[in-house]
Amino acid sequence: MTQDPLQTSTPYLLPEVYEEFRAAARTVAEKKLGPRAAQVDARGEFPHDNHETLVAAGLHAPGVPEEYGGDGADALAAAIAVEEVARVCASTSTIQTSNKLGVTPLLLAGTEQQRRRYLPEVAGGDALMAYALSEREAGSDIAAMRCRATMTEEGEWSVEGVKTWITSAGVARYLIVFAVTDPEAGSRSISAFVVHADDPGLGYGAPERKMGLKGSVTREVYFDDCRIPADRLLGQRGRGLHLALGTLDHTRVSVGAQALGIAQGALDTAVAYVRERRQFGQALADFQGVQFMLADMAMRVESARQMVYAAAARSTARARDLTYFGAAAKCLASDVAMAVTTDAVQLLGGYGYTKDFPAERMMRDAKITQIYEGTNQIQRLVVARNLV
C-alpha cells in the first residue's frame, strides 16, 4: 500500500494544538507588542505596559504547573511563546526568560512550601523573578564567585557581595541568588537562596547602558549583610553549583527560542522589504543574488527551529541528553540570529542602518544571545565534552 508522504512525516510536524497556540501568541504579539517595540527600545526602561499585556494573555510565565496557578505548558509551548514575543520585541521576551530562570530552580530543588509560596505569585503576574549568578570575575567560571553567605548566631543567613548583569534587577520581587557557603568544599561550596527585593541590606546599581535589549533592565545587585531567614535556602546546602548548571540546561532552550524569534522577525522584515523595494525597474526580490541570500537565511532559521524544538522536548522529558541539546540549541540559534539579522540589515541597505526599520534593533538585540547564559564558546565546550 502506498503511504501519503504527509502522513509518513507526521512525527516531524507540530501537533495542531501547538500551531493554534502559536497563532494566538502571534496575534497578541503583533497587535499589542510589535507597535510598541521601537518605543520600548528608545526609552530604555522596563516596559510595564507590555508586562501587563503578557499577563493578560497568559504569556508572561509559561510553564508554571497548574497546581501552582500556572498554565502547565510544556517546554515546547513555552519556547513557542518566547519565540513569538521575541519575533516582534526581544526586550519584552526577557520578561518570560527572566521568570523561567527564577521558576526553574524552584521546580528542580524547591520544597513544596517554597513552591506554593512563590510560584502562584509569578503565575498570577504579581511577581517577576530574577536570577543572580554572574559576578565580575565569575562569568563563565561560576566556581570563582566571591559572593558569600554565612550563618549568623541568630540562625539567619547573611549575604555579602555583588552580582553583575542581573536581568530585571530592581523590578523583580524575588531573586534566586547563588553564594559561597563552604569556601573549602570545592564543587560543593556554593548554595542557592531565595532573596526578596525588600530584604534589608539589598541594593542596586544604575541600569547598564547596553547595545541592545534596552527595554530589559540590567543592574548590579549589592548585598551588604543582607539578612534572610534560614528557610530560604533553596535545595541542599552545597549543591548550588549543581542546581545552577541544571537550571541552565533548561533555560538555554528559552534563549535559543528568543534568538530564533529575533531571526524570524528579521527574515520577515527582509522579505517584506525586498518585495516592495524596486531597483532597475524590478523588485529586489526578483534578483537572484537577493533570492540566494533569503534562501540561506530561511534555511538557517528553520534549522535553528528544529534544534530548539528538539531541545524543548528533552527539557520536558528531563532527558539525559538535555545538557547537549540545550547547549547546542542555544549556540546554533544565537549564531543564526546574528547572521540573519546582519543579512537583513544588508538587504535593507541604508534603511537597514536606520531606526526607521526594525532590522538594526534586531541586529543589536541578537548579539546578547551569543553571550548570556553562557557564551557560545562555552556552549561549544559543553557540546564537545558530551561528544567525547
* DSSP characters over 272-310: HHHHH-EETTEEGGGSHHHHHHHHHHHHHHHHHHHHHHH
Query: CA gyration radius for the chain?
Result: 21
Q: Specify the residue for cell string 553567605.
A: 149
Burial per residue of 51-84, b for 16 or more beta-carbon CB atoms within 10 angstroms, e otherwise: bebbbebbbbbbbbeeebbbbebbbbbbbbbbbb
Q: Specify the residue for cell string 526577557.
A: 94
Nine cell digits for residue 211: 547595545
Nine cell digits for residue 292: 540566494
Q: Report the C-alpha gap between 385 and 381 in whole angstroms.
A: 6
Q: Report the C-alpha gap between 351 and 201 in whole angstroms.
A: 48
Per-residue CA distances from 296 to 156, 246, 309 (Å): 57, 34, 20
Element (H, E) at 225: strand 218-228
Q: Report the C-alpha gap between 50 and 33 in whole angstroms.
A: 6
Q: Is 16 a catalytic residue?
A: no
Residues taking part in catalysis:
373
